[in-house]
A and B are shown apart, each in its own frame.
Chain A
Amino acid sequence: MSEARHGHRHEEADPARQKASRRILVRGPWEMAASILIGLGVLMLMQPFFMWAFTYSFIVLLIGTIGFIIVSHFPE
């Protein structure tokens, strides 16, 4: 019990780690990246040049869309 409490206190007392995760998991850039993936997926789906791009368009779109849903819950 005391170990658990100690562990909890240790987690709380690690501001550098929290700061780093807060700096990385910021909504803005991740949302932008997901939007770019969605845009790229739509372009790949509808372009008339490469069949391979059409084939892989859905997976790009899916990653972008699911990514967007996840990162829109990140802090501002």
Chain B
Amino acid sequence: MSISPIERAAATTPPGVARRVKGLSDRALAWIFVAPTILLLLAINIFPLIWTIRLSFTDYRVNRPNREAEFIGLRNYERILTDGDIWISMQATAHFLFWTIFFQVVIGFALAYLINKKFRGNDLWTTIIVLPMMLSPAVVGNFWTFLYQPQIGLFNYVVGFLTGADPSSFSMIGEVALAPWAIVIVDTWMWTPFVMLICLAGLRSIPDSIYEAAECDRASKWRQFWTITIPLVLPFLMLAVLFRGIENFKMFDLVVQLTGGGPGATTELTSINLKREAFEKWRTGYASAYAVILFVTVFGLASIYVKALNKVKER
């Protein structure tokens, strides 16, 4: 007669431990297993969050630890929400968010549509397209600064070759008008594969029988695209948009490596601005209020994301 792994484990448990465990209810055991995770979450997520909210109501400066923090109520929030520089930083973030999502969705969907067609070397192309997504944002930011160099950069050379313009006549990361587009191009290059993968999952989940039924009804390819493909891929696209939206709202490393927020503050996204307030100007209370505003924004967007996710699951 064979012994099951559970029986074997029970046999090897020391009698003292077995007696103690035997006395515990299932509920108590569950709590024992979950407690370390809950404690860890409380220590590294919940406590810092509550502490940040508390600090946001004070004028605390972390570089002056001996100075007593004074409670100033909502003054930090009032200052942030009437600060023109932060408003400009929010606009830079909005520009970055809108255009990266737009390009990533359009190009990502188009690529997924092409990759979904069965052709030779399909898997190889998928791997090549997905490569940028696997690189570190810091590395990507660094090598794109070389690609954007007016004198030796490949990007300028290609633009010059295609348009006839002098490659050294413009600098993508040095000009106020071009720098916001420079970061959009790099993020699009890096993260379009991610949107493509989500769209591909959506496209592959559509059963062939629906298209076959549409063919029987003599529906044109155009009609099939708008009445079958788009509605069925839409939830996936929506998820991709929300996911990229939340990620890009927190964008930091790529842009810091690429432009450092410049020229001036043209590409200073909110996360970069926040880091400057907290660790360069050392206005900890002010930066905490700023962080709370960004947290509520991301949390709100995440709530809609979860709702959308549940809707997709229901389908």
Contacts and interface: CB of A to CB of B under 8 A. Distances in A.
A68 B303 CA distance: 8
B300 A55 contact: no
Interface in B63-118: 77, 81-82, 84, 87, 90-91, 93-94, 97
Nearest to B93: A46
B91 A41 contact: no
Nearest to A62: B296
Contacts, number: 55
19 contacts: A31-B307, A38-B300, A38-B304, A39-B304, A41-B300, A42-B297, A42-B301, A45-B90, A55-B82, A56-B81, A58-B293, A61-B297, A61-B300, A62-B296, A65-B296, A65-B300, A68-B300, A68-B304, A72-B307
Contacts of A61: 296-297, 300
B90 A65 contact: no
B303 A65 contact: yes
Contacts of A38: 300-301, 303-304
A45 B300 contact: no
B299 interface: yes
A54 B90 CA distance: 9
B94 A54 contact: no
B235 to A, nearest CB: 16
Given A41-B300, A58-B293, A58-B296, A46 B90 contact: yes
A58 B81 contact: yes
Given A38-B301, A42-B297, A45-B297, A54 B307 contact: no
